[in-house]
Each structure stands twice: as C-alpha cells, then as structure tokens.
Structure 1
C-alpha cells in the first residue's frame, strides 16, 4: 500500500482546506494517509468511507515556535516516520510537508538512513517575512526546505522563483482547486439601485482591507448611497477596521466568519479582493466558478487563478479599485452591460480552472514518481 505522511502547521483558511482536500483524494485513491497535525483534519463525527484511510497523529508546528518546540516537533515527526517506514514493507514512503516551517522540520527529522527510504515533497504556501528577526528565521527555514526536498510545489510564481534561488532541485506550480466548484449559469445583471459588493478575507494586514475601505470612501464621496460592501471573515484587524468604518461612516459591514461564503457570492454584484499578497486565493476561484464579477489585485499567485480573462489592479491602489467599482455602479451609464461583461469573463475562466482530477494527477506524479527517472 502506498503511504503518505501529510505534515502541516497550525493553520486555517485556504491552507487547511487544501490539505484536507488532498487527504480525502488520496484516501479515496487507496493511499494510507497519516495526518500529522495539531488537530485531526477530519473529525470522527463526519468520518465517512473516504476518511477511513486517514490516520491522525498529533504534531504541533506553531508559527513563531521556539527552537525548543521546533526540536520537539522534529523528534515527534521522526518517530512517526520510523513507524510508517517499518510498516511500508520496503516500499518508498512520501512525506508531504505544507509550508516552509513544516518542510524544514521534516528535512531535519529525516536521518541519512531514513532519507534513503523516504521522499520529501514540500508545498510552499506563503512568502517569507520581509524584515526583523522573523525574516532571518524564515529565510533559513525556506532555504532548508527548498534544498532538502526532492520536489517543491509553489502556490505562486514569486515562491517558485525564490525556491529556485534558494537551491531547490525541482520546482512546479502547485495545483490548488477550489473544493466542489460548480458554475451557476443563472446569474443575471443586478437590478438594485445599490451595488452589492462582497469581500471574503481574513481580517489581517496581508489582505489590505484598508485599501478596500479607502476605495469605498472614494466611491461614497462621489456617489453617496450607491455602494454597499460586506466583508466575510475574522482576524486581528477587526477592531481597527470597525473603528475606521464607524469614524468615516463607510458603507461597509463586517459579517464575521461565514460558513458558506458562496451563498453570499450568488447574492453579490461584485466580489472584491484587495490583498497585498496571495497564494492561489480559493475565494476568488469560488467567485469565478459562481460567475460573479471580480475585481482583484495582481498579488502573488492571483494571476494563476484569474488568467488573462480578468483584468487586475495594482496592489495598494485604492483609487484604481474605486474607479473599477464606479464603472459598474447602477447610476453610471452602461454599468449593467459592463457588469455582464465581467461576469462573462468569469464564466469563460471558470471552464479553465483546475479540478480535483487535476490535483489528484499532480499528487500521483509528485508523491509517487518512478524513482528510476529521478536523482535522489
């Protein structure tokens, strides 16, 4: 039986959803999946036939963990690997780490003896910190993961370039499909006198929701009452955003965490993303799959999601975002036609988005290659 150990840090959102999808796909394909993470990917309450092949082993890899905690994670992972190697009956075992920190700890966990029987693949999900002590540690972990992995899967072009610069032997773009995408072709032009805008994002600096606030302020100043913005998500920036929304009387509502953002996407006229950096944003894939009009920034791997069908704004350019919103406001002549053109662009792009089958094909190639064709 083929075996994979999925090593993941403490995470939520897109990374966690992607690893869960990978685990379920591999389990359905008959692979023994060891889920090495702090909490189980799939709860016993929701366990089904597919999930029965997923075996959770506790492993804590926290962001900003101390060297002592990291060394403890290395020791715990080494024990997990040894047990799986013993059960592999001579077959090659694959460790698939998600994130530079997990990849580095996995590299440290593999002794020379284990490395002869274990293949390490690392998916890079986030860029390195830019400044301070965290940047020094981050670069070291990124370099170690890049150099010691047989294959790097990068979720954005800049991460692929960085991995090669840090000594990665092989680098490929990671396939990140949105779970269960299904185009709703019944959408039509908005009929309201107000443009309904949705943003699905963690309330964190990387998402640059201050840019969205500024864009909304510009629109409201020129077309009072023509715009309503809802933001679905939670995070450390909630208080700052709430204070600004109140102080500036912005037409923005914070919804908090939402279980089914796609239902909101079907109600919205436009889905907006103003991030400074993204991997391959699942929320945008979902919006495109719903045939929603999309306004987004050209950040990280966003272009890998939108393709050339959907024009992107420069990160941090609130005025550019505002002008794109103004172009589709109900009071503006030709706005309905422009909105329908944007929706049609999303429908065309939706047909090109990666699927679960594409992800499974990449996993088969990345995790279970013919090792005779590779240099270990």
Structure 2
C-alpha cells in the first residue's frame, strides 16, 4: 500500500515526530511511504534515508496560499500515486482534498483550541473520508460539534536510544552534574503557556535549571519575563530532545490544551516523570501513571510539584512508575487496518 503523508511542516512538533516514525516503520506493515510538507529537519532526515519527500509551501490560511499548497500537493500525488492520503490536521486535509479529489483521504486530527473546533468540523465533514483523533477527549469534542463517528488511535512514540550520555549533554550546556534540571520541550507559542511555567519557576528555590527546548513567536517576550529568574535556559529548536531527556530529571508542560502530546510520551519512554497541566489529552497520557497532574494555569501547584520532584530521587521514582500505554507496533497495526479498509471502500 502506497501512503502519502501530507503535513504543513516537518520540524520539531509532535505531529511531525509521529509522521517521521510512521514513515520509517511503514515497511513493517507493507507500506511504501512518502511525505509532502513545507520541510524541516525531519523531512531532511527522511530524504537522507531514501524516502520520497515532496516540497509543499505552507498554506498560511489564505486563498492564494491554499491554492499554492494544493498545486504542489497535486504534483506529489501525480508522482507518487498513493493508494491513500494520510493528512495531518485540518489545513493539510483541505489542500490534500483539493489536490487529490478522487483519492481516499484520512485525516489525523491532533487537536485545536476549543474556539476552533466548529470550524474544523465544518472543513473535515466536507473533505475527509475518515477522521482519526489521538485521544478520546478530542473525539468527544468533534462528535459533539456534529462530525459523526470518529476513530480513536492513541499516539505512541517510536523508541530511540539516546545518542549522547547524560554527562556529555550537561557538559556541552555548562550544567554541573549535581544540578536538578526540568525540561520543557514545547514551542514558544500561546497554547503552551510558558508564562505560567515561568511564574511557577519563580517559586522554586535553589540551584535548579529550567531548559526550554523550542522556539516560536513568544521567545522575545518570554526571555524578557525570565530575566529576573535563576537558571532559565532558552535552548531554541532542538533535534536532540531524546538526549536532553537523558540529561534532565523532570519534564514539565503547562499547556492550556493538548491532543495527546508526543513530548510527554517521549518523556515517559525515557523514564522521566512528567509534571503537566490537567487537560484532556494529558490526562489520558498519565492515566496509567508516569507523572503528576496540576491544575491548568496554576503556578503555585506547578511549583509545588517541581520542588517535590526536582529535589527528591525517591519522589521522581514513584512519579515515573507507569502501567501500560500505547506502543508503536499497536499504533501501526491500527492505522494499517484503517487505511486498507478506507482504500477498499473508496
């Protein structure tokens, strides 16, 4: 089965990590895979590994942008001739349907803010043959907005060993071996609420460091906010998050909303406990353990959890204990069965 993944970009985000993992693992379930996207380091890596990668400009939510993206996607469809198109999120689904009106199209809905759900449903009802969500809560939200039946396939990570040991990573960043480190692997965008995290960090005493791995439109504002705080490190976009997890002690995420964040799944796979906002997708990730849920937009409770886990190996060990969770093999099997069914029905 020939599967074309369509996604806006292939950078450091969770959806991008999922696409890269699915492309690499596709051969295990009989797929020939390709990606059409606006590029990024993950696309470059797939190209080096020999997978077809087609360049598509990001749509940018304008009629002209959508038209350009659809035209480039159409060229990719003509060259790769997929049996099914797997589009990640709403804008990619729209451009994919314009580009390939007769191809089976499955959308993977990774999540949007509550205010955007109705608009997303309006588009998906028109363009998608089947919609997959990564969490039960997201499916409930879409169905409640009138989408109809939605398939739930929980996200999973494709485990990778660390390329660099803990001491080497810390030495490269100038962090002493004994210093407690909290890692926040998230884009510096409003959804992720780094302002809440920085307010919490101001309540954490001691010599700990906070590593912010990601970039985005709020970087300047957040750097200014962090000037008065100790130990905050802006690392920018990183391609070595697995190595950073090896060197950190705790992962923290204070988002306003999430689908099912790959960053937290990667942290759990690396046996790092998580401190995260009690929002729908995160709640599902931590249902079997692996971390501490804190109320959304609560610097005080976030700081309390940070103080507990950063300075107590025992508390970290207890918090990291986990029972079950989705795995990559199950994810690929579920997608394979779904895509083959949709392709045959179409």
Q: Same fold (TM over 0.5)?
A: yes
Stretch of structure 1 that moved more, 34-43 or 231-240: 34-43
Contact 2:59–2:68 (Cα < 8 Å) also in 1: no
Instruction: For residue 259 of structure 2, give the secondary structure of its aligned residue in structure 1.
Output: coil
Aligned to 1:57: 54
Stretch of structure 1 that moved more, 201-210 or 27-36: 27-36
Measure how far apart 1:371 and its partner are.
6.7
Number of corresponding residues: 331
Aligned to 1:315: 296
Aligned to 2:340: 368
Aligned CA distance change for structure 1 residues 142 and 76 (closer, same or farther; 3 Å): farther
Aligned to 1:175: 154
Aligned to 1:47: 48
Contact 1:200–1:232 (Cα < 8 Å) also in 2: yes
- In the alignment, structure 1 residue 69 sits paired with structure 2 residue 65: yes
Contact 1:107–1:144 (Cα < 8 Å) also in 2: no
Matches of 1:75 and 1:166 in 2, distance apart?
Answer: 31
Aligned to 1:227: 208
Instruction: For residue 325 of structure 1, give the secondary structure of its aligned residue in structure 2.
Output: helix
Contact 1:279–1:300 (Cα < 8 Å) also in 2: yes
Measure how far apart 1:329 and its partner are.
5.4
RMSD over equivalenced CA pairs, Å: 3.1
Contact 2:292–2:305 (Cα < 8 Å) also in 1: no
Matches of 1:299 and 1:44 in 2, distance apart?
Answer: 33
Contact 1:10–1:63 (Cα < 8 Å) also in 2: no
- Give matches, 1:274-293, under 5 Å: 274-293=254-273
TM-score with structure 1 length normalisation? Answer: 0.76
Instruction: For residue 73 of structure 1, give the secondary structure of its aligned residue in structure 2.
Output: helix
Aligned to 1:5: 4
Bigger Rg, which one: 1
Q: Deviations over 1:102-142 (max 9, x none)?
A: 1123334454xx2xxx3210001230473xxxx5xx84454
Aligned CA distance change for structure 1 residues 61 and 245 (closer, same or farther; 3 Å): closer
1:357 to 310, 313, 329: 329
Contact 1:152–1:163 (Cα < 8 Å) also in 2: no
- In the alignment, structure 1 residue 120 sits paired with structure 2 residue 105: yes
Q: Which runs of 5+ in 2 are unaligned?
A: 167-175
Aligned CA distance change for structure 1 residues 257 and 79 (closer, same or farther; 3 Å): closer
Q: Deviations over 1:5-48 (max 9, x none)?
A: 22211352212221122222224544333422233864489634
Aligned CA distance change for structure 1 residues 233 and 170 (closer, same or farther; 3 Å): same
Matches of 2:89 and 2:145 in 1, distance apart?
Answer: 15
Contact 1:147–1:167 (Cα < 8 Å) also in 2: no
Measure how far apart 1:83 and its partner are.
6.1
Instruction: For residue 255 of structure 1, give the secondary structure of its aligned residue in structure 2.
Output: strand
Measure how far apart 1:192 and its partner are.
8.1
Measure how far apart 1:284 and its partner are.
1.4
Measure how far apart 1:209 and its partner are.
1.0
Matches of 1:61 and 1:46 in 2, distance apart?
Answer: 19
Measure how far apart 1:261 and its partner are.
2.3
Q: Which runs of 5+ in 1 are unaligned?
A: none
Aligned to 2:191: 206
Matches of 1:306 and 1:258 in 2, distance apart?
Answer: 25
2:136 to 157, 161, 173: 157
Matches of 1:55 and 1:96 in 2, distance apart?
Answer: 15
Matches of 1:355 and 1:317 in 2, distance apart?
Answer: 31
Instruction: For residue 312 of structure 1, give the secondary structure of its aligned residue in structure 2.
Output: strand
Aligned to 1:33: 33
Matches of 1:44 and 1:358 in 2, distance apart?
Answer: 24
- In the alignment, structure 1 residue 95 sits paired with structure 2 residue 85: yes
1:297 to 249, 259, 277: 277
